[in-house]
Amino acid sequence: MTPLLDRKLVFVTGKGGTGKTTVASALALLAASRGKRVLICEVDAKGELAGYYEAPPTGFKEKEVQPGLFAMTMDTESSMREYLKLQLHIPVVGRIGPVAKAFDFLAAAAPGVREILTVGKLCWEVRDNGWDMVVVDSPATGHIVGQLAAPQAVNGLVRVGLIRNQTDWMLDMLSDPAITGLLAVCTPEEMPVTETIELAARVREETTVQLAGVVVNRVLPELFGRNEEEVFDALAGPGPLEELDGLVGGDAAPVLEAARLAVTMRRTRSTHLERLREGIDPQVPLLYLPYLFAKSHGLRTTRQVAGSLGEELGL
Amino acid sequence: MAARSAGGRKGDGAQAPKPTMDSLLATKEIVVACGPGGVGKTTTAAAAALMAAVNHGSKVLVLTVDPAKRLADALGLDGIGNTEHRVPDSAFASAGVKPRGELWAAMLDTKESWDSLIRQHAPDEQTRDEILANPLYQNIAGRFIQSHDYIAMERLYEIHSAGEYDLIVVDTPPTRNALDFLDAPERLADFFSSRLLRWLIVPYRSKLINVATKPFYQISDRILGTEFMGDISEFFILFQTMYDGFVERSKAVGRLLSDRRTTFVVVSTLEATPLREAEFFAEQLTDRKLHLGAIVLNKVLPDYLQGRAGAKVAEVMKDRAEELAGELAPAIGSAAPGLGDPAQIARVLTEVADSYLNFQVVALREMEERASLGVVPDVLATVPFFDTDIYDLGGLLRLGEQIWG
């Protein structure tokens, strides 16, 4: 399988709350720190991406947010204008508002049109603008398949016309696992793992894009080694605990209780990890990122995650 | 009522009782659970419905969008179709409760719901069949994102109108924007009444192209091909026959959402990003004069992680681990023979202390987030971090008791 950082177009998806944007921003930062010229694009636009680099808000025109790393926010209307102008050589849209509006309307009505404008813009950036890597902070798991399958869907609906000519080369690019890959982000919890397994199946059946890896985010540390949990249990027993209270001059019970919680949480989660490993093609690498006991989001967190991601990728 | 007169007799100022989830669910007919993804929205909706069925002796339906497999099994949902199922008494018995009312559950099947809507509104059989067979329709019903938002509210309206249930708790689909489903009825009405739509249809019907629309058709034909434009226009012409029914219906759905019998419960965790989204959503509800009944904060770390005293103990445990281990070794050795190795005890003490201090960072951040919450609803419920997943009625009850008040 082509290593993640050698691919030119990486879509990052995940269930809400799993840290999709964190992972996408860290992946882009990691690639840029290794000397690549990288574009990161926010598609599921909530305008949060810039915050992961402590940068001012991004727009459709890319801006450098870190050395060698540029960020942009997808906007289907701008994308359509650019597309008509540069790809279809129809330079009229700027002047006639109603036509742009009508297309927006059409995009809302005809499935696949909006998606094709998004995917098309990204493919075009890869092909014509000389990026070493384009990282896409994509829609959540429920919506990504529709986006990646848009070129086929449009091919099914539109049999002739300029769009049809365009979707063919897009499909070639998306189908090439040496160029394009999907990175799914999940946490070791029931629903995210279930959704990731379902996503892997749908991506295989409904799209031509290869699943390049699954990031398992927020993995809790293993507290105890061999026999140590027995030691902990003994320590939490009435005699030793009372002695510990006296030795430290305070109530140690909450501290032990917290450790108990951490151990149980990790144990519950490990069953989901096993389920994930069984449910995903063994060829697809799983990349584990530790739970971050950090104060907040921002560039510092992005850097830490990029560091962990680099280690997992063996860099 | 009873509580108020009791307060009056005591003569303590006759304060109205503080609303709880209990009183909220006793007075409302529709509860819409909403909020960002990944915060336990589905589970919270199911737990609230369960509590109402157990405590209120009413017939309660939970209409859910995408439950976890095991939760769906617990609710007796086999994962297909729109049918409403009653959660069997045996499931309650194994959770150790005897409900006063009935709990029903249904899942939302978008495609099936759209089809049934078309059947209902189509003026005749031919139109109905043509729409159902139209490739554009099939795409819209199956995949079109906004169609989920609309259909969830539409189903809610349909079930409520049938008058079968005392309370309906509905879980909203995961959307890019949590507000989408609120706008969906209106957007759909706009969509079908749009001038652009008529614009789009006319030339393919009458072949009359005027000066203003000519460039549009030239471009669209060039880009999409005449055939596809024909498909689109056929679809909309067919849909026009149902226009009045749809607009009427979507307006009724909108009215139902703002009815005083409907309340909204915003679900979130105390992580910064979901909480900001939930807060924004709560503000929007208020702006639209919709009833914000409660905010439920899920997966909150326990209070014992916050104390400065705990942190101090953890620091001592860490700094003096070896010395403490030496002191504790005999007691541990006698409690559990063979485990009295001081080096190993020291490692355990260090790990335990580190873990406490790590989780305290997160717990304090959560506390700060909660304090900064800008919207204050009638009911603010906090649910602790359960150390296991919730996948049966017993688990739902544990969660439900936390939000019940």
SS3 for B133-195, per residue? HCHHHHHHHHHCHHHHHHHHHHHHHHHHHHCCCCEEEEECCCCCCCCHHHHHHHHHHHHHHCH
- Is the pLDDT reported for residue B373 higher than 70? yes
Q: Does A244 touch chain B (CB under 8 A)?
A: yes
Chain A residues in contact with B149 by the CB 8 A cut-off are none
Over residues B170-196, the mean pLDDT reads 67
Mean pLDDT rounded to a whole number for chain A? 88
Using pLDDT thresholds of 50, 70 and 90, give the confidence band for residue A297.
Answer: confident
Q: What is the ipTM of this complex?
A: 0.85
- Would you state the pLDDT for residue B301? 92
**Residue A122 dihedral angles phi and psi, to the nearest 5°:** -65, -45
pLDDT at B7 over 70: no
Contact across the interface for B344 and A142, Cβ inside 8 Å: no
Pairwise CA distance, residues A78 & A238, whole Å: 68
- Residues of chain B with Cβ-Cβ distance to A94 below 8 Å are none
Structure confidence by residue, pLDDT tens digits, B385-395:
876 777 788 88
**Does any domain span residue A272?**
no
pLDDT at B354: 95
pLDDT at B203 over 70: no
B38: contact with A, CB 8 A cutoff: yes
Interchain CB distance below 8 Å, A231 and B339: yes
* Helix (H), strand (E) at residue B319: helix B308-319
Average pLDDT over residues B370-383: 88
Mean pLDDT computed over A110-119: 75
Question: What is the rounded distance in angstroms from the CA atom of residue B378 to the CA atom of residue B266?
Answer: 12
Mean pLDDT of B53-82: 81
A234 touching chain B per CB within 8 A: yes
Distance CA A315, CA A307 (A): 9
Strand pairing category for B102-107 and B85-86: antiparallel
> For residue A123, how many C-alpha atoms fall within 13 Å in the half-sphere facing its CB?
24
pLDDT of residue A70 exceeding 70? yes
Give, for B33, the enclosing helix (H) or strand (E): strand B30-34
Q: Which domain holds residue A306?
A: 4-221+282-312
- Residue A277 in any domain: the answer is no
A contacts of B273 (beta carbons < 8 Å): 48, 297
Average pLDDT over residues A272-283: 95
pLDDT, tens digit, 9 for 90 and up, residues B207-258: 455 555 566 666 666 666 666 667 777 777 777 777 777 778 878 888 999 9
Q: Which site among A20, A255, A295 would you substitute to test the B interface, given the most B Cβ atoms closer than 10 Å to its Cβ?
A: A255
Q: What local confidence, expressed as pLDDT, does residue B293 receive?
A: 94
Distance from CA of A115 to the nearest CA of B (A): 11
The predicted structure's pLDDT at residue B183: 72
Top CATH class of B19-301+385-404 equals alpha beta
Query: pLDDT category, A165, cuts 50, 70, 90?
Result: confident
User: Taking all residues of chain B, what is their mean pLDDT, rounded to a whole number?
Assistant: 82
Across A304-310, average pLDDT = 97
pLDDT of residue B339: 87
Report angle CA A161, A165, A170 to the nearest 5 degrees: 140
Q: Tell me the mean pLDDT in the region A164-174.
A: 86
Span A229-272, pLDDT tens digits: 999 999 999 899 999 999 999 999 999 999 999 999 898 899 99
Residues B269-322: pLDDT tens digits?
A: 998 888 988 998 899 888 888 999 999 999 999 999 988 999 999 999 999 999
CA-to-CA distance for A163 and A155, rounded, in angstroms? 9
| Cβ–Cβ < 8 Å for B138, B169 | no
Beta-carbon separation of B352 and A294 below 8 A: no
In chain B, what residues touch A84 (CB-CB under 8 Å)? 219, 223
Tell me if chain B has a CB within 8 Å of the CB of A18: yes
Compare CB distances from B332 to A103, A164, A235 and report the shortest one's residue: A235
Chain A residue with minimum CA distance to B325:
A244
CB B125 within 8 A of CB B143: no
- pLDDT score recorded for residue B198: 62
Write out chain B residues lying below 8 Å of A102, CB-based. Answer: 196, 199-200, 216, 220
Dump strand ranges (E) for B212-340. 262-269, 292-300
- Contact list, B145 vs chain A (CB under 8 Å): 143, 146
Task: Check residue A75 and give its pLDDT.
Answer: 83
The percentage of residues in chain B with a pLDDT greater than 70, rounded to a whole number, is 79
pLDDT of residue A24: 97
| Mean pLDDT to the nearest integer, B171-177 | 68
Mean per-residue pLDDT, B98-108? 92
| Cα dihedral B353/B354/B358/B359 (nearest 10) | -40
Q: Is the pLDDT of residue B84 over 70?
A: yes
Task: Tell me, yes or no, if A105 comes closer than 8 A to chain B by beta carbon.
Answer: yes
CA distance A229 to chain B (A): 8
Question: For B250-262, what is each residue's pLDDT tens digit?
Answer: 788 889 999 999 9
pLDDT at res. A131:
97
Q: What's the pLDDT at B1?
A: 37
User: Does the beta-carbon distance from A244 to B36 stay under 8 Å?
Assistant: no
Domain boundaries, chain B: 19-301+385-404, 305-368
Q: Is A59 exposed, middle or buried (0-12, 13-18, 19+ CB in 10 A)?
A: middle
Residue A69 domain-assigned (yes or no) = yes
Non-local (6+) Cβ contacts of B244 within 8 A are none
Residue B5 confidence (pLDDT) = 40
A277-286 mean pLDDT: 96
**A191 burial level (CB within 10 Å; 0-12, 13-18, 19+):** buried
CATH number at residue A168: 3.40.50.300
